[in-house]
Amino acid sequence: MLHVIPLGGLGEIGLNAMVIACRGELLLIDCGLMFPPMGTLGVDVIVPDFTYLRQNASLLKGIVLTHGHEDHVGALPFLLNEVPVPVYGTRFTLGMVRGRLEELGVKADLREIEPRHPFPVGAHFTVEACRVTHTVPDAVGYIVRTPEGPIIHTGDFKLDPDPIDGLRTDLERWGELGDEGVLCLLSDSTNSERTHETGSERLVEQTFERLFQDVPGRIVVSMFASHLHRIHHVLDLARKLERKVVTMGRSMARNIEMARQLGYLPSVTDGLFVPLDAAASLPPERLLVLATGSQAEPRAGLSQLAAGDGPLRLGPGDLVVLSARAIPGNERAVTGLIDQLLWRGARVVYPDVEPGVHVSGHASQPQQRRVLDLVRPKNFVPIHGEFHHLHRHLATAKESGLAPEQLLLAQDGDLLVFEEGQGRFGGSVPTGRIYRDRFGNGVVTPDILQERTRLAETGLIVAVLVIDRASLSVLAGPQLSGQGLNLDEQVLLPRVADDARAFFLEMSPQLRGDDARAREELARAVRRAFKLYTSKRPVVVPMVIKV
């Protein structure tokens, strides 16, 4: 009997983590995070709830990684801190992982693998990486051989006939497995609703070459810092156009340096780059900026340029290229960023006005169909996507000839059972989302989130009252200072203070001697007075000082 258990990635974009369990051993494919939606105050990353893996830590034999994107590897430090096991990945993927682990002070047993070279994990799994084309070098899917039969996990992939590095998705190997017989296909669903072929990265190359010609000012290109194929092309273009390059964003600089050390950017030399503080002195027509921030992240390089922070000031003649589509949920923030850049006078090019500045790294509906027809699995589970993506991918599988009993529409926490070639639902395991701060040091609980949301919605008032220690009479105050209040509410504070003083004086002098009771009554008085003029009930921090 074999179990497949998604701990994340089914029903959302991100959090990818898939457990395969057989004969008392567990194998984890990917360990990703997701970034929080706007308004999730003080939360920087969301990771899967690893309760199931903690409860079965002795059974977990290893983690295999499909590629280096954060939604597939970003949660590794949090899991490895509690469940240290070997981690397998290709050279570039482990390069990405190593930097993140070192940053957070986590040690790990990292083991480099090569496509088409099977390796054992535990006693019951034989794993083989299969090269796939994606937006990051060295991406792979996996063939996992188990006592119940082989499973194919595609990872994130597309079918690019002419990839930048010349390494196509290994359809030949998947076809060989299809002839052998595949117990289950787990396949990327991100672009399942797109009916047109996913474009080749060569289209972006051609578009950049056209756009970069005869730009009178600076060229600014913003993309994901992991998109090394595209970054490599931009750097080559900068060299040909005799432009110096400045990187903005720590992840951009770190990834380029790591890729150079590993030999993935062979044509790039130190002389191509200039530091940011020296870039402002260069003629605009001799500078190209590679910046993070295509998703309008507040601390990223492009957001600094849009806000006018730092030594570089954008203006007429400058070209800004956003080489990424907005992640679902980020659309408003990205639109605001574009507006800021336009207000500064720059020409801004983004996928909605120039589709060639970005192509997806995920297979579209016809490409997904090709894989289904090639593999002909006994069972099919769509993965990596929101529910509507999974649902559409399942429909494509049905159109390819799979019977309803072969199709499993799973969600996070489902326990899928495979026995004698057939799959079925067999219950569930604990799963969920854990909210963490920027450095991953603290968990942000739902109660904390609720309190932060309340503070953001209603505001906060600090009330200071001075009482005579001997007579317990009020000497001064309350003095009120507000945070998160609008201008009209700020103007009301003197009147609120007067009314709160009157309410507080209704309290007997004897009760004022109880410090805790005095603070409680002061807070109540301020809230009561504030509500006389508004419908809000702000959070009040009372301070009673006895002199």
- Binding-site residue numbers for substrate are 358-362
Which amino acids are annotated as binding site, given as ranges? 358-362
Which three-class secondary structure string do you get for 234-288? HHHHHHHCCCEEEEECHHHHHHHHHHHHCCCCCCCCHHHECCHHHHCCCCHHHEE
Distances (CA, A) of 17 to 72, 431, 435: 7, 11, 16
Element (H, E) at 54: helix 51-55
Distances (CA, A) of 516 to 61, 101, 257, 536, 542: 54, 46, 57, 24, 10
**With 0-12 CB in 10 A as exposed, 13-18 as middle and 19+ as buried, what is 161?**
exposed
- Using CA atoms, how far apart are residues 291 and 322, in angstroms rounded to an integer? 10
- Using CA atoms, how far apart are residues 351 and 337, in angstroms rounded to an integer? 14
Q: Does residue 215 contact residue 410 with C-beta atoms inside 8 Å?
A: no
How is residue 357 written in tokens? 């500045």
Classify residue 406 by its DSSP letter: G
Q: Does residue 26 contact residue 61 with C-beta atoms inside 8 Å?
A: yes
User: In this structure, which amino acid lies at residue 73?
Assistant: V
Question: What phi and psi values does residue 313 have, to the nearest 5 degrees?
Answer: -125, 115
User: In this structure, which amino acid lies at residue 170?
Assistant: D
How is residue 187 written in tokens? 């396949």
Location of structure tokens 């990051």: 136
Please write down the long-range contacts of 492-501, taking CB distance under 8 Å and 24 or more positions apart: 492/530, 492/533, 492/534, 493/461, 495/529, 495/533, 496/526, 496/529, 496/530, 496/532, 496/533, 497/529, 499/525, 499/528, 499/529, 499/532, 500/463, 500/525, 500/526, 500/528, 500/529, 501/474, 501/477, 501/525
Question: What phi and psi values does residue 131 have, to the nearest 5 degrees?
Answer: -65, 135
How is residue 70 written in tokens? 């954060």
Q: In terms of DSSP bridges, do strands 474-483 and 460-467 run parallel, antiparallel, or are they unpaired?
A: antiparallel
Distances (CA, A) of 281 to 67, 246, 273, 355: 39, 12, 14, 33
Location of structure tokens 């942000």: 444
Q: Does residue 157 contact residue 134 with C-beta atoms inside 8 Å?
A: yes
- Using CA atoms, how far apart are residues 435 and 245, in angstroms rounded to an integer? 36
